[in-house]
Structure 1
């Protein structure tokens, strides 16, 4: 009698998630940030020379680098350490990074450009937070409900 092959290992939606976590998401963050910085610098001549702008860009790139580093570590764990900790760490990263980048951006703007600029950025910061938390919700649901994830990280039991 033939038995269906169990869903186990990094494949299907889990493989897509790891690619999105480690490659697609970081590429989008880097690209979007570069485009936004370029637009601002070309819209307001002299901006690129301002010390506060240089410091903001450094801070923003640091936040993005930190976020990407956490995501890549999560992806490496998911592909190399088939233990429950890998899933728990990834879920923690999914929920932490939107707060780090959004709140970090707000703090940077407030510290470098003042409270009126920070207040003006609230809508953008909030929308980025909502997008990040929505993505975290979807992928957390997948990681908690997926048969493949359960079999791969919590042990397959026929």
Structure 2
């Protein structure tokens, strides 16, 4: 077999693509829930310093975590069950949304609910957190756009009109 023939055999949910789906279905939801729990696990003295809006923040944080987990599962489902080229674009958008939106929404909650001192900290934290959060979707986006396996698995969408009229 030639090198080109071997590469055309790359299709399906194996290799790095399978690893991405595994990360989205198992690892990411667990990480999101554990990170949320750890972030909300503060001493009662700190909670009293933060103010009366702490309970609201806790509820909003869990709702945000649940929404993020739902999005990770939706992207994984799409990668597994809808093998069209449009899935790749949806997955890339979903990966960026999973990485960036929770951070931005969390900061928005903090800016609205907490004191000026907390706002200063949140603003400084935001820049570093956004940069850190961009690494994973940037790498996975590059993989999804350049991978031979992805190109062979997610074929070009053919509209009904193209199918009928050629």
TM-score, with length taken from structure 1: 0.85
- Give the whole-Å Cα distance in 2 for the aligned partners of 1:107 and 1:61: 15
Secondary structure at 2:53's aligned position in 1?
A: helix
Gapped regions of structure 2 (runs ≥ 5): 157-166
Mapped to 2, the partners of 1:80 and 1:86 lie a distance apart of: 10
Q: Give the drift of 1:80.
A: 0.6
CA distance in 1, matches of 2:133, 2:87: 20
1:20 aligns with 2:23: yes
1:10 aligns with 13
Runs of 4+ in 1 over 6 A off after TM superposition: none
Alignment map for 1:1-158 (pairs within 5 Å)? 4=6, 6-38=9-41, 40-41=42-43, 44=45, 47=48, 51-154=52-155
RMSD between aligned residues: 2.1
1:45 deviates by 6.2
Contact 2:144 2:150 in 1 (8 A): yes
**Which runs of 5 or more structure 1 residues have no equivalent in the other structure?**
none
Contact 1:18 1:78 in 2 (8 A): yes
> CA 1:148–1:85 in structure 2 vs 1: closer, same or farther (change >3 Å)?
same
| Aligned-partner SS, 1:111 | helix
What is the distance in 1 between the residues matched to 2:123 and 2:112?
14
Contact 2:111/2:122 (8 A) holds in 1: no
For this pair of structures, how many residues does the alignment match? 151
Query: Deviations along 1:73-114, whole A, 9 cap, x unmatched?
Result: 010010011001211111001112333111111111111113
2:100–2:130 contact (8 Å) kept in structure 1? yes
So what's the TM-score if we normalise by structure 2? Answer: 0.81
